[in-house]
Structure 1
């Protein structure tokens, strides 16, 4: 077992939280498991060798303050972050603890970078949203593509895909709520060096993956902030997701209002109703066998001002859930050692350096395929 700063895992009894707890233990960490259900916490703690656990509520500032100590690494897997994230990051920064989360929600990403970046820097701690499949690989692949492209590169485009046996049942309810719910909220775009608001799905791209064309829609991500931190000459950043596809029963996983004029019409209300029903009916998530049928992929391209591709980096790895858990475990070990210069809201490349971030991704199972 490792010594050093404590790792505190909030949401440990949720679907992704439990996978993350196991990944942390596999890396030699002894996380403190935290959540609202004492019985389930006790059961999971016992399964993992008798870990410490503590009841805490993400909406209760007092319980969070009692849970978190200076120097801790706080990991939050509690979704949706736009509803329950604020008190956790506030408690971490106030208590001078590092903060990691798994948020795939553009509005929350913007909140972390623009509201909590300066307080975290002043506190000497790292706050890093969206650690995991959404969106750490894009930060790493995009930075690698920029480095290979050289000084002519001023634009980056990153796209995420899930390949293999992937359909609606591959979503846990919490992840489905977090991801697709965010598609109804204003997202992000970087244009001419300025972060602006843009509705998700405003733009589309088609990628050829394994000989098949796959449509991807624009979303906001931390890459809009982190890739410009890595290379200040970057003016335009686009992030796309290509895994919100139709499932085996012909049901769309994508709220139509995210990509059409329906978001401006009465059809938006009906689409949001269908989305809430989809979340209500979602299963907990695939078991370990089901997860093995999925493959994560991220494609990053660095371009010149005219849009010509100068460099392309493609990473593939295990299913999004296990990949996220393994990345969180690596980050939990690395963050306390990244030094005061990394303090603030940041991504893995800027916190650890590109070489170390690539190695961390490799240890989590991400490999470059082109």
Structure 2
């Protein structure tokens, strides 16, 4: 029987490299996996040498299954996940491993909870999706706000905001994933169930300013209601677009019509492929970039009960560090439960709070 290990799939990509560096800095020795043996060897050498590598390609799912064994922790940074993510999920499920990924794609997150989760639970595997800036901060902030609010809480609103030039910082994988999401249906959690929705916006007070957020499907819609039985509504808003948020909301409301037009999906996929092929540059370090995540808990009448704000740094750096923390923690101590799990489910609220602090995310002001 082999000793359980951390397997980092997609190690030579942008997020994968950052995660590999964070793992090694924390004392881990992950198996670096990807499709290019030369790039893998170069990465292993740049990290001090001696790290094991393995060739695995989503176009050959058996090659991904071969690198995962029972008890392993598989970290996948291979995106766009809607197109390429299934091989890693299946490999982890069949092996009875712990699975973590860095996706922010709403449709893929929904599939993890609704399609893949039951099979993973039956095999004793844990699937922990969207374990990065998308959407760990919101899970943490909302859980803290709901704990403070108590049993009266019936609704929670979560807003994600960034200061700095994230357009310049974004990787090719992020841009391709965003293109893939343009035509996908969004969802929310209202009246105690997952519902379709498109293009809602609302303002949040951030640093004394009103900043708009655009509603998005996220993991919080699936992870928060089972833990907080009184919740009837969960809303997640992304505020990265600044003054373009309202216009983006109008476009989002037209998504069902656009998606039905002949050839639109094929054209969008072709554009995403072009973005990936041209994405050879390394995004510059996120100096001057910071993040703010706000959660507000309300009672059934709309009265604000509690709010929590988390401040952090560069979202990519946070993603790499929190993935590294989760992988090493899961390898050493396991996770709480099987099937599709949220961050709090897997590590406990206080444990997640501590882990996020090590990754540079901490509460600032709460009421």
Normalised to the residue count of structure 1, the TM-score between the two structures is 0.89
- 8 Å CA contact retained: 1:101, 1:129: yes
Whether 1:311 aligns to 2:311 is no
Q: Does 1:61 align with 2:61?
A: yes
- Report the CA distance between 1:161 and its aligned residue: 1.0
Deviations 1:318-359 (A, max 9, x none): 101000000001100222456575211111111111111100
Is residue 184–residue 257 contact of structure 1 (8 Å, CA) maintained in 2? Answer: no
* 2:80 aligned residue: 80
286 and 223 in structure 1: CA distance in 2 versus 1, 3 angstrom threshold: same
| 1:294 correspondence with 2:289 | yes
Unaligned runs of 5+ in 2: none
Q: 1:262 to 1:87 in 2, by over 3 A?
A: closer
What RMSD, in angstroms, separates the aligned Cα atoms of the two structures?
A: 2.7
Which stretch shows the higher mean deviation, 36-45 or 182-191? 182-191
Contact kept, 8 Å, 1:155 with 1:304, in 2: the verdict is yes
Alignment-derived partner of residue 192 in structure 1? 191
The answer (yes or no) to whether the contact 1:155–1:236 under 8 Å persists in 2 is yes
| Residues 343 and 337 of structure 1: CA distance in aligned 2, closer, same or farther (over 3 Å) | farther
Distance 1:230 1:179, change over 3 A: farther
| CA 274–68 in structure 1, closer or farther in 2 if over 3 Å, else same | closer
**SS of alignment partner, residue 66 of structure 2:** helix
Q: Judge which range, 184-193 or 74-83, deviates more.
A: 184-193
Helix, strand or coil: the match of 1:59?
Answer: coil
CA distances 1:147-168 after superposition (whole Å, capped 9, x unpaired)? 000110011111111112x142
Aligned to 1:210: 207
Does structure 1 residue 353 correspond to structure 2 residue 352?
no
**Residue 229 (structure 1) aligns with:** 226
Separation of aligned partners in 1, 2:259 and 2:61: 38
Written as runs of structure 1 = structure 2, the 5 A alignment for 1:117-136 is 117-136=117-136
Q: 1:42 to 1:192 in 2, by over 3 A?
A: same
**Is 1:144 the equivalent of 2:144?**
yes
Q: Closer, same or farther in 2 for the Cα pair 1:187/1:263, shift >3 Å?
A: closer
Q: Secondary structure at the residue paired with 1:342?
A: coil
Deviation at 1:36, TM superposition (A): 0.8
Residue 344 of structure 1 pairs with residue 339 of structure 2: yes
Residue number among 254, 260, 267 corresponding to 1:261 in the alignment: 254
Unaligned runs of at least 5 residues, structure 1? none
Alignment-derived partner of residue 71 in structure 1:
71
1:338–1:351 contact (8 Å) kept in structure 2: no
**3-state SS of the aligned residue for 2:152?**
coil
